[in-house]
Structure formats: C-alpha cells, structure tokens
Structure 1
C-alpha cells in the first residue's frame, strides 16, 4: 500500500503522522468505484455473504479476481478484515452461484 500511495514516509517506511487524516481518506476512497463494490462489501464492518453473492451475481465471477489500486482482491480484504471471522469457501460459493444461475436460465 505504501508503494501505491503518493505520501511521504519516514526513514523506517511509515507514513508521517501529519499525513494521517489524508492517508485515511485516501484509503477510504480506494474502493468507491462501482467496479469495486465487492471490495467495499468485503472491507465493510459487517460483510454479508448474501450481499457478496448478489454483487458477484451482478458483476460476474471474474470480479473476485479484480485487484484495486493497491493490488488487493475483495477476498483478500475479507481475509484481513479485523471486524469479522467470516470466511467464504470459494468452491461452495461458486457452486451456489452456478446452481442459482442455472435455475434462472431453466425457469
């Protein structure tokens, strides 16, 4: 993240304290585009499997591999999210998505 940002760091590689507010705002703004809706959900305070499912259903499976400006995928955000221990079993998740999409096509 430090390499991707435009902020100065001190000699040991930390952001300078006077830049804290600006750095926090930059981080918050990283995932604001519609393309990164999945990133926003996975980084949210209470990520929801149903919301994640709906976003992927709308954006397609490739959305799980999209990296943002700092090189993170949505599921990497979910893994690092300190507010939740929620984990997605990708295989089961993809199976659920395929079954639902098949059901929509059949009906």
Structure 2
C-alpha cells in the first residue's frame, strides 16, 4: 500500500531540481478553445465560435519563455450538441478559416515580483 506512494514521493523529490524546460528546445502545443451560447433548457442548439492554433515556445533561461502563435483559425458554430457545451464539435459542420492574429513573439515570465 505504501510502496506506490513512496515511489511517487521519490520521483517528485528527484525531479524537483530539474527545470521543466530544456534550453535550446522548441515546444509545440495544439491550442483549442470555444465560446458558445445557448438556451439549453429549451433546446441543445448552440452558437458561437471555435478557435485553434499552434503555440510554439522556446525557453529563455530558467524563468522565461519566448512564444508565438502560428496558424490561428476560427470557425462559426451553429450546431446541436446533445451532450452540452463540451461535446465534440461535428467536424463536417466545422469550417475553419484563417484568423488574422499577430504571430509576433511574446514572452511569458515566471519571475516573482
């Protein structure tokens, strides 16, 4: 019973000194979001937008990241979502278009002020 807990504790202690980001490496994330509205008490018809993009980040030292957003896309949503707002979007009805958004790099800092 205690061995899995002890193993997790040892792994946590061993990795505490290591940084989460390796300098010189680029990390790529698929970012997705949605904003939906509905009168779900009446029907499961939702309307709104869905967004997707790639977020690329490179470490700049131990406390900062240089990131930029690439290939941002947006789609208007008008769909029946019987499972609620977090249901998968119907791919056949989700027509993503290029979204004009700055792809200039920005910095994320974890420094404490």
Report the TM-score range of the alignment, normalised by the length of the smaller protein.
under 0.3
Determine which structure has the larger strand proportion and give its number.
2
Determine which structure has the larger helix proportion and give its number.
1
TM-score using structure 2 length:
0.24
